[in-house]
Amino acid sequence: MVGIIYRTFDEPRDYERGIRLARVGDLVVSKSGVFEASLTTMTFGRVWLQSGSDSLARSLRIEIEDSRRTMLFLTDWHSVPIIQSGTNFGARDVVSFGQNTSHFQRSFGPTDWTAISLPPGDLEAAVHGFLGSDIGDPSGSLWGKPAVEHLTRLRGLRYDLSRLISSGEKTLQNPEVVRSLEQTLTAAMVACLTDRIESSRAPGGLRHQQIMRRFGDWLNANSNRAVYIKEVCTALGVSAATLRRCCEEHLRMSPMQYLWLRRMNLVRRELQQKNLRTTVTATAMNFGFWHLGRFADEYRSLFGESPSSTLARRPA
């Protein structure tokens, strides 16, 4: 089966729900402006390919299950680097996240990315078939900076296939053509994931990665209320200094700044809920904003509109 779906978004919540190749959540906008995003999802039999574009600096959390093996890269050579799992990630980098792992990602402006995925076992079988070797523990993430020609080929395939599907090319209805596309994409993915690969790049090592995972899990379990540094550190069993080092590595901001941004984004999300009766004052206070005048000014600076405007715009 071959298919393509293109969608646009003006709200972070809808965008994160549309990302198919991983479970994405906690998208926190960290810079003022109008949020715009798009997703292009392409299917070539067993191979899935999804490209995304978002307009504002933000952080988000990626949770990888054991359903498919996914590889991520930035879409073009001029992409501005992001922070992925506590390390710089640029236009020359690729990563395949390990199964049942969790990662924070931080961008600093408009970001374009592409992910390609295979069903469980397909990547391992392809590596063994092409190279006669094993890819290693599926729970371990693979980081690499492949040769330019390998990544150029993968980017070119992504562009050509998007153009072919969008034009309604009839050859794509042929099952053998689809099988050929599967093999071509798989071979390009294998070439990128077996060239100059590292098992780990995070400067804080496994311990900081584990702390950030517990941090994300705890925030998810307490997503309907304001939370503060002291109770987070108590719940995680870490010092404030350790949590600060972890957040600065993975998010390039302090935990206090991140929690404040998260609270602001949660207020906005609640004001947009169409089936919830609330007021700006009640919502702001529910998330710990007691100085309402300052809150309104900061909200307007971050989101480009007043909280009352957000409340008035929500769908009936």
**Among residues 97, 3, 92, 84, which one has the least CA distance to residue 50?**
3
2-198 topology per CATH: Jelly Rolls (2.60.120)
All CATH 1.10.10.60 domain ranges of the chain, comma separated, are 205-313
pLDDT confidence of 203, banded at 50, 70, 90?
A: low
The domain made up of 205-313 is a member of CATH 1.10.340.30: no
Of 67, 56, 62, 68, the closest CA to residue 29 belongs to 56
CA dihedral sign of residues 277, 279, 284, 290? negative
Token pair for 148: 């330019």
- Give start-end residues of each CATH 2.60.120.10 domain in the chain: 2-198
Helices within the chain (DSSP H only): 12-18, 122-131, 148-166, 175-193, 205-221, 229-236, 240-251, 255-271, 280-286, 292-303, 307-313
- Integer Cα distance of 59 and 258 in angstroms: 9
Q: In this predicted model, what pLDDT tens digit does every residue of 210-242 receive, in sequence order? A: 999 999 999 999 988 888 899 999 999 999 999
**pLDDT tens, 169-201?**
677 778 888 888 888 888 898 888 887 777 556
**Is residue 72 very low, low, confident or very high in pLDDT (cuts 50, 70, 90)?**
very high
Instruction: Dihedral sign for Cα 73, 74, 75, 76, please.
Output: negative
Which tens digit of pLDDT belongs to each residue from 19-66?
988 889 999 999 988 899 999 998 888 889 999 999 999 999 999 887
pLDDT at 249 over 60: yes
Q: What digits encode the pLDDT tens for the residues 105-159? A: 999 999 999 999 988 788 888 888 777 777 777 677 889 899 999 999 999 988 8
